[in-house]
């Protein structure tokens, strides 16, 4: 991987030399955590170099947006965490652009920085933020932005395949130990900010039989460990515990899960590598890469990605408070979405399962609800597909598991193939992908997708 990093860095140097020719640049990025951190990384690098920029966040890049950018006639556009799938439109409209992305390329461009072009896999070896970080290092001494690169790849779930960051992500992590560190620990979400019982109660990945979703069972479990978890003021968080207490809880939890039928695969995921931002205050969302990425996702899902970007750029006052408010609202909406799925059920075909949220779940969060429902209410042996209505068609969000990917599942390929037959557009990664399907084609889409995924799993 060192050779791949060297080749990407060399091409990033060529892209950086092109960037240096301009006084102001139009930035375009995706609204998720990977896209927001990518935008912040390149924006900070441009600021330090003395180049101005304008920022545009989009849910999805399409021909209409490319055309509008061309009509606005910017001297140079830098796309981060998107663009590789729209190279044909970028070229056809003559847009002067640098594309810094990690999704599978469709077309060619002179200034195109993408791991797939250098033999690496953008699903788990490096994310959009990591690719953008490589570009930023060629614009100046920007190695302190490595923590944002790791937040972005964690938000993109790049650690799932191997249970930790590997390859190019690993190089970024290990060559910047002054800003980001790794630590093997319990893998439950909320170690910085949640009371310990809440970590257990809201664990959906992995789902803990008998504990997930049951507050009383979680407090009872903790009380049986013989440790003190609350005082007159508040419940203690994971970071408030000493190492000996953490080890006792983790050991008790593993024993409980074994006795209650948790699969060996999921048990193995209860302890994993976590990532700490050393420059951030302990007890805040920004200290932990997983919590930080969740905070950023909450801003983007409600079309407030600029707020998330301001947090990444260092605002710990107004923008941070706004982001936390959006996160609280996001959590309420997720609870409502999960309740919708629980009440309306999930339909199963031979090789997929799906639910149709219509207008009851916002299309910006239906993928998250699908992923959480997969763990709490779905059949883990089948990928889950979620539909939600949006202005121009049905939003499709697809989620799989690493076990299914190991058996041949590739949701990005499957959605692309079906969309080519029915219209619309799809893409993403093998384990998680999305698409837009024309109104009236939903039933045909799910039937064809079922057949396509059946063929993938049969070939493996």
Residue 268 lies in a domain: no
**Residue 14, Cβ neighbours under 10 Å: how many?**
14
Q: How confident is the model at residue 232 (pLDDT cuts 50, 70, 90)?
A: low
**Residue 406, Cβ neighbours under 10 Å: how many?**
11
Residue 183 lies in a domain: no
Residue 236 lies in a domain: no
Residue 43 lies in a domain: yes
Among the listed residues 91, 95, 88, 84, the one whose alpha carbon sits nearest the alpha carbon of residue 26: 95
> Looking at the 3D structure of the chain, how many domains does it have?
2
- Return the SS3 of 361: coil
CA–CA gap between residue 128 and residue 454 (Å, rounded): 30
Q: What is the mean pLDDT of residues 254-282?
A: 90
CB 304 within 8 A of CB 35: no
Residue 423 lies in a domain: yes
Residue 34 lies in a domain: yes
CA dihedral 331, 335, 341, 342 (to 10 degrees): 150
Angle, vertex CA 256, rays to CA 250 and CA 261, nearest 5: 125
Which residues constitute the domain of residue 146? 2-178
Q: What is the DSSP string of 414-459?
A: HHHHHHHHHSSEEEE-SSEEEEEE-TT-HHHHHHHHHHHHHHHHHH
Check which CATH number belongs to the domain holding 93 and give it.
3.90.1640.30
Q: Residue 21 pLDDT more than 70?
A: yes
**Model pTM score:** 0.85
| Segment 322-378, tens digit of pLDDT | 999 999 998 889 889 989 998 999 999 999 999 999 999 989 889 989 988 886 666
Residue 245 lies in a domain: no
Q: Residue 253 pLDDT more than 90?
A: yes
User: What phi-psi label fits residue 57: left (phi over 0), alpha (psi between -120 and 50 degrees) or beta?
Assistant: beta
CA–CA gap between residue 277 and residue 291 (Å, rounded): 11
Q: How confident is the model at residue 233 (pLDDT cuts 50, 70, 90)?
A: low
Domain C-terminal end among 178, 200, 228: 178
Domain C-terminal end among 178, 205, 235: 178
Domain C-terminal end among 148, 178, 208: 178
| Segment 185-220, tens digit of pLDDT | 999 999 999 999 999 988 877 778 888 878 899 999
CA–CA gap between residue 95 and residue 368 (Å, rounded): 33
| Segment 369-402, tens digit of pLDDT | 998 888 666 687 899 999 999 988 999 999 998 8
b/e code 378-405 from CB counts within 10 Å (16+ = b): bebebbbbbbbbeeebbbbbbbbbbebb
**Residue 424, Cβ neighbours under 10 Å: how many?**
19
CA–CA gap between residue 460 and residue 458 (Å, rounded): 6
Q: Residue 453 pLDDT more than 60?
A: yes
Check which CATH number belongs to the domain holding 388 and give it.
3.10.310.40
288 alpha-carbon distance from chain centroid? 15
CB 50 within 8 A of CB 72: no
What interhelical angle do 305-312 and 33-49 show, nearest 10? Answer: 50
Residue 217 lies in a domain: no
CA–CA gap between residue 261 and residue 209 (Å, rounded): 8
CA–CA gap between residue 293 and residue 434 (Å, rounded): 19
Q: What is the mean pLDDT of residues 289-296?
A: 97
């Amino acid at each position: 991987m060192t050779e791949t990093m060297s080749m990407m860095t060399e091409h990033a140097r060529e892209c950086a030399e092109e960037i240096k020719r301009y006084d102001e640049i139009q930035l375009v990025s995706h609204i998720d955590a990977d896209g927001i951190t990518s935008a912040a990384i390149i924006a900070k690098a441009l600021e330090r170099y003395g180049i101005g920029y304008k920022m545009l966040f989009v849910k999805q890049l399409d021909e209409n947006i490319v055309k509008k950018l061309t009509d606005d006639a910017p001297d140079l556009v830098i796309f981060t965490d998107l663009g590789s799938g729209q190279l044909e439109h970028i070229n056809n409209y003559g847009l002067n652009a640098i594309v810094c992305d990690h999704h599978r390329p469709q077309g060619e461009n002179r200034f195109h920085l993408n791991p797939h072009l250098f033999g690496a896999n953008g699903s788990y070896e490096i994310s959009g933020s990591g690719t953008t970080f490589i570009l930023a290092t060629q614009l100046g001494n920007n190695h302190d932005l490595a923590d944002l690169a790791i937040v972005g790849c964690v938000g993109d779930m790049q650690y799932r395949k191997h249970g930790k960051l590997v390859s190019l992500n690993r190089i970024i992590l290990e060559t910047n130990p002054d800003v980001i560190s790794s630590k093997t620990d319990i893998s439950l979400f909320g170690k910085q900010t949640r009371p310990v019982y809440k970590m257990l109660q809201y664990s959906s990945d992995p789902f803990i039989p008998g504990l997930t979703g049951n507050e009383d069972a979680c407090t009872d479990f903790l009380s049986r460990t013989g440790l003190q978890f609350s005082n007159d003021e508040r419940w203690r968080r994971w970071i408030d515990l000493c190492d000996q207490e953490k080890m006792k809880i983790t050991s008790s939890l593993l024993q409980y899960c074994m006795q209650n039928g948790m699969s060996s695969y999921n048990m193995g995921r209860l302890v994993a590598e976590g990532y700490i931002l050393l420059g951030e205050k302990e007890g805040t969302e920004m200290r932990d890469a997983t919590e930080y990425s969740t905070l950023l996702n909450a801003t983007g899902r409600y079309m407030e990605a600029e707020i998330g970007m301001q947090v990444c750029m260092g605002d710990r006052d107004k923008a941070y408070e706004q982001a936390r408010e959006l996160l609280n609202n996001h959590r309420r909406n997720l609870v409502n979405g999960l309740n919708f799925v629980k009440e309306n059920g999930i339909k199963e075909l031979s090789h997929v399962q799906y639910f149709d949220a219509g207008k009851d779940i916002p299309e910006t969060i239906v993928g998250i609800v699908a992923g959480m429902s997969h763990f709490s209410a779905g059949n883990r042996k089948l990928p889950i597909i979620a539909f939600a209505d949006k202005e121009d068609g049905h939003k499709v969000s697809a989620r799989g598991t690493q076990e299914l990917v190991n058996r041949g599942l590739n949701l990005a390929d499957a959605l692309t193939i079906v969309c080519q037959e029915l219209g619309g557009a799809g893409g993403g990664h093998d384990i998680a992908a999305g698409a837009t399907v024309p109104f009236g084609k939903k039933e045909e889409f799910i039937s064809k997708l079922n057949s396509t995924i059946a063929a993938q799993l049969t070939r493996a």
